[in-house]
Amino acid sequence: MSLHEPDVDERSVGELLMHADLTCRQVLADPDAGNARALMRTWGEMVEASVDLWNRIPGDQKDPVMSRIGAAATALHRSQIKAGWPGAGDTDDRLSHAGDTLCRAAELVASRRPTFTPVSGVVSADVDAARTRLMHTLYVGTHGVGVALRDYMTKAGGHLDSKQRLPPGESLKQARHAFQRLGAVEDLARGYLNVRWPAALCGEYRDPPSSTRIDRALAQWDVQAHRSLAGTPTTANLLLVAVIQRDVAVAGQFLTQAAARTHAIDADQHASRLATPLADVEASWANLGRHLQQLTPRGDRRIDPALLLAGNELRASLREITHHGGAVATPDVMAQRTDLATASRSIQASTGTAVELGHVLREVVQDPNVTVSAKGAHALATDQTGRHPVQAWIDAADLHHNRDVPLPQVVRETLTGAIDHTLSANMTANSAGTFLEQSTPQQIAAAASMTGRRQQDRTPLALAVNTPGYGCER
């Protein structure tokens, strides 16, 4: 995660809180004993920023927990000044950044805080979520500092045992005191979170999904799939391409069905032309995926990290529209989340790019230099030719050691056939979806009812079909 921000910070309070939370998780995920004193120097600032933001968030503050944490941090700071530990020196960049982020959030809240106290139910839920998120940030950050301090004490104890003294500026006694006091703060934060985390986060206000996210994710996926297959054409990468393409097809069916039911697209055209071809697309990718699953043992499914990243983003972009928890969202809910006509067109366009991707897959499979694991090739070849084939497809020694072997012909033919099926299915679906580019009867009727000229009057005259265009052969 980058610690740098754009010049103009346009993030909302919720986004800032989330960023601070993730930054503190980094502190916890990578505690460093060598950095313990820097963390201790910075922890107080983060608590101060948390207390400031807490006090600025509107609504009743019946629970005085944050005041107690603030008081504990101030007392610890005083003790540390007296003891001269951790002393002057560097601060921790991550914790300092989390504190700065919370300060920015506090400024935003202060500039927008309403002058009246009562808040609506929705705002109240958002406020509760913000307090819970803030307390979690503090809890995780404090725990991270505590873990680093514990490691510091272990190392300092070892050093003291072996050399009977500590380097100047180090103190095991002060570290122990600080550790105990951090533990008390952690207990306070945990007590607050026990009854709220993560349930209270459900009330967190979220911006609606970006309308261009699917398009962007599809484009990124398409580019990355081409790059990965050109660079590392392994069966694991082929498998991921097949299952992601199937997911696009599954989501495409959900989206177009919802679009038809909410009249965002022509329901009759969808039922008669598009529904079946899209189902065929999904079935064809599923078939290819099954073959590639057999060909790729679970332990061999090491994926190009960039492809994994693009796949994760595409899945998330589709899922935030099509799903609600573990189930498929209702058409009305999907319609509230995005423009279903635009999303349907994106899916239709993706069947066009899938044709190109299918050709790349075909080239990979046809490449005589492509190798696969012997076990995987044996599993698929056996499945295709039966348990007792006349000819052994895989050498017994290769199978025993699971060496990489050239693609056996029967496996190549099976995969080529499956890819050809995906190609034809995608081309059919792409052609069948051309009606999505046209206006629905409802849209035409709405346009006709507008004041001014009717839609057909505003439409430029089309050239006659049999008239050759400029520069064309006559």
Partner 1 sequence: MTSTPTATLDEAMHTWITVVQLLSAAADRGFAQADTAPAIHSLALGAQLAACGALALVPDNLEVDDGPPQAGEVADLVAAAEGLTRRHPIDAFPVGASGVVVAICDLVREGSS
Q: Which of residues 337-376 bind partner 1 (CB under 8 A)?
A: none
Q: Which of residues 379-418 bind partner 1 (CB under 8 A)?
A: none
From the number of C-beta atoms within 10 Å of its C-beta (0-12, 13-18, 19+), residue 451 rates as: exposed
Residue 324, beta-bridge partner list: 327
Part of the chain binding partner 1 (CB under 8 A), chosen from 6-14, 312-320, 409-417, 428-436? 312-320
Q: What CA dihedral angle connects 307, 311, 312 and 315, to 10 degrees?
A: 180
Closest contact distance (angstroms) between CB of 295 and partner 1 is: 13
Interface with partner 1 includes 319 (CB under 8 A)?
Answer: yes
**Euclidean distance between CA atoms 421 and 416, whole angstroms:** 9
**Euclidean distance between CA atoms 39 and 265, whole angstroms:** 57
Which residues 6+ apart lie within 8 Å of 153 measured at CB? 172, 175, 176, 179
Closest contact distance (angstroms) between CB of 148 and partner 1 is: 9
Interface with partner 1 includes 325 (CB under 8 A)?
Answer: yes
Interface with partner 1 includes 305 (CB under 8 A)?
Answer: yes
Find tokens 């514990």 and name the residue: 150
How many residues touch partner 1 under the rule CB under 8 A: the total is: 43
Nearest alpha-carbon partner for 143 in 270, 46, 277? 46
**Among residues 167, 168, 208, 326, the one that binds partner 1 under rule CB under 8 A:** 326
Interface with partner 1 includes 32 (CB under 8 A)?
Answer: yes
Closest contact distance (angstroms) between CB of 239 and partner 1 is: 8
Interface with partner 1 includes 72 (CB under 8 A)?
Answer: no
**Euclidean distance between CA atoms 395 and 102, whole angstroms:** 63
Part of the chain binding partner 1 (CB under 8 A), chosen from 8-16, 86-94, 135-143, 323-331? 323-331
**Among residues 44, 87, 157, 297, the one that binds partner 1 under rule CB under 8 A:** 297
Would you say 248 or 407 has its CB closer to partner 1? 248
**C-alpha count within 13 angstroms, C-beta hemisphere, residue 166:** 16
Nearest alpha-carbon partner for 434 in 352, 357, 354, 355? 352
**Among residues 72, 286, 333, 349, the one that binds partner 1 under rule CB under 8 A:** 286
Q: Which of residues 181-240 bind partner 1 (CB under 8 A)?
A: 236, 240
Interface with partner 1 includes 327 (CB under 8 A)?
Answer: yes
Interface with partner 1 includes 253 (CB under 8 A)?
Answer: yes
**Euclidean distance between CA atoms 1 and 94, whole angstroms:** 11
Part of the chain binding partner 1 (CB under 8 A), chosen from 6-14, 38-46, 177-185, 313-321? 313-321
Cα angle, residue 9 at apex, residues 8 and 14 outer, rounded to 5°: 165
Interface with partner 1 includes 177 (CB under 8 A)?
Answer: no
DSSP 298: G
Q: How many other C-beta atoms can be found within 10 angstroms of the C-beta atom of residue 247? A: 18
Using only C-alpha atoms, the chain has a radius of gyration, in whole angstroms, of: 30
User: With b meaning 16 or more CB within 10 Å and e meaning fewer, what string describes 120-137?
Assistant: eeeeebbbbbbbbbbbbb
Would you say 30 or 187 has its CB closer to partner 1? 30
Part of the chain binding partner 1 (CB under 8 A), chosen from 50-58, 82-90, 267-275, 326-334? 326-334
Closest contact distance (angstroms) between CB of 375 and partner 1 is: 10
**Among residues 37, 136, 246, 421, the one that binds partner 1 under rule CB under 8 A:** 246
Interface with partner 1 includes 322 (CB under 8 A)?
Answer: yes
Q: Give the phi and the psi of residue 471 in degrees, each rounded to 5.
A: 80, 0
Q: SS3 of 26, please?
A: helix
**Among residues 98, 244, 260, 340, the one that binds partner 1 under rule CB under 8 A:** 244
**Among residues 65, 308, 349, 444, the one that binds partner 1 under rule CB under 8 A:** 308
**Distances in Å between the alpha carbon of 358 and those of 276, 363, 414, 428?**
20, 9, 15, 14
Which residues 6+ apart lie within 8 Å of 272 measured at CB? none
**Among residues 3, 18, 33, 399, the one that binds partner 1 under rule CB under 8 A:** 33
**Among residues 58, 99, 144, 311, the one that binds partner 1 under rule CB under 8 A:** 311
Part of the chain binding partner 1 (CB under 8 A), chosen from 135-143, 212-220, 222-230, 281-289? 281-289
Give me the amino acid identity at 171.
Answer: S
Strands 371-373 and 404-406: antiparallel
One character per residue 147-176, x = contact with partner 1 (rule: CB under 8 A): ----x--x----------------------
Q: Look at the chain and count its residues.
A: 474
| Residues near partner 1 (CB under 8 A) | 25, 28-33, 151, 154, 236, 240, 243-244, 246-247, 250-251, 253-254, 282, 286, 289-290, 293, 297-299, 301-303, 305, 308, 311-312, 315, 318-319, 322-323, 325-328
